[in-house]
Amino acid sequence: MHADVADRGAQFLGIDVKDQRQMAVAFVERLGVAYPSVFDPRGEVAMAFRGFPANVVPSTILLDRDGRVAAVYTGQVRGDDLRAAVELLIEETEA
């Protein structure tokens, strides 16, 4: 999805809070992840999103262009659902 929408201004950031560093790096390399990914074993980044479950992995948080939380998915999110939500945010930005 990142490759499909990055040229339209969407930005992605992966945050690894559970794995050992070596396993996280291997995962990113194996999948060919092209967006930045940070290692955050203490969950400090997740804690910045107060009011949202920081201990559910995976979680997906979508931010609007002003940095406000626009959607939260806990657990695995269906690709079609994520794509629809990201497209809405991009359209808001383009308008």
Q: Of 41-45, 51-55, 71-75, which one has max mean pLDDT?
A: 71-75
> Which phi and psi (to 5°) does residue 14 adopt?
-90, 140
Confidence tier at 46 by pLDDT (50, 70, 90) = confident
CB neighbours of 37 closer than 8 A, spacing ≥ 6?
A: 13, 14, 15, 16, 24, 28
Q: Which of 30-34, 47-51, 88-92 has the lowest mean pLDDT?
A: 47-51
For residue 81, the domain's CATH number is 3.40.30.10
Position 54 scores a pLDDT of: 66
The structural domain count of the chain equals: 1
pLDDT score of 35: 95
Q: Quote the pTM value.
A: 0.83
Note down the domain range covering 35: 2-94
